[in-house]
Chain A
Amino acid sequence: NAGVTQTPKFQVLKTGQSMTLQCAQDMNHEYMSWYRQDPGMGLRLIHYSVGAGITDQGEVPNGYNVSRSTTEDFPLRLLSAAPSQTSVYFCASSYSNVVVGYTFGSGTRLTVV
């Protein structure tokens, strides 16, 4: 099994450009989440989903959109990239309500210039 797969691993965007960070899991997990990691700030929750068709905002949702049309995929969209969105983005998934079951992808390093 591949676990949680994130693409791309690296991306450079110009300010104002849009893009989609992909996340796919093959473990039939209901819960999926997006986090961003910035130096000295740990991981902060952007958006999450508790099942196909259901999404909600986390701690830092502004500037990002998500959708969950299938159990497997949970893409994160940057609508108009800003330098403040330069970060490492992690996708995670778990079975519902099993906190310790979170599996993380290997991350996407995004630079906005």
Chain B
Amino acid sequence: GQQLNQSPQSMFIQEGEDVSMNCTSSSIFNTWLWYKQDPGEGPVLLIALYKAGELTSNGRLTAQFGITRKDSFLNISASIPSDVGIYFCAGPIFSSGSARQLTFGSGTQLTVLP
């Protein structure tokens, strides 16, 4: 079943505001990924985190790998209209053998108001 709990489920913010969202798990992950999905498109990778405590930026986006390895955070600074979309956290799970697949959080729907 779903292993990642993502919050908030949705956010309505004014253009220019900062945004924070997070993802928690009952299990330890050794990699955290953050994806963005634009309307009508598939998810696109924004940031990948590989080490507990790691802080990584991609433009106005900053993500952190929690030190317990059970959580991760994504911040967006100075939001703009094109930030609208669904943001997903994801992490690898081991399927049969050594094959790794991705499990996803339920997503945060971000709306940016002008």
Q: Which chain A residues have a beta carbon within 8 Å of chain B's beta carbons? A: 4, 31, 33, 35, 40-45, 48, 50, 56, 58-59, 90, 92, 97, 99-100, 102, 104-107
CB-defined contacts of B9 to chain A, threshold 8 Å: 40
Nearest-Cβ distance from residue A108 to partner chain B, whole angstroms: 10
CB-defined contacts of A41 to chain B, threshold 8 Å: 2, 106
User: Quick check: which of B57-65, B67-75, B96-104 contacts chain A, the rest being far away?
Assistant: B96-104
Q: Are B100 and A107 in contact (CB under 8 A)?
A: no
Nearest-Cβ distance from residue B9 to partner chain A, whole angstroms: 7
Nearest-Cβ distance from residue A41 to partner chain B, whole angstroms: 6
CA distance A107 to B38 in the complex (A): 12
User: Can you give 10 A-B contacts (C-beta < 8 A)?
Assistant: A41-B106, A42-B88, A42-B105, A45-B103, A48-B101, A56-B95, A92-B42, A97-B100, A106-B40, A106-B41
CB-defined contacts of A102 to chain B, threshold 8 Å: 45, 102
Q: Look across to chain B and name the residue whose beta carbon is closest to the beta carbon of A31.
A: B99
Q: Are B44 and A104 in contact (CB under 8 A)?
A: yes
Q: Look across to chain B and name the residue whose beta carbon is closest to the beta carbon of A58.
A: B101
CA distance A56 to B101 in the complex (A): 11
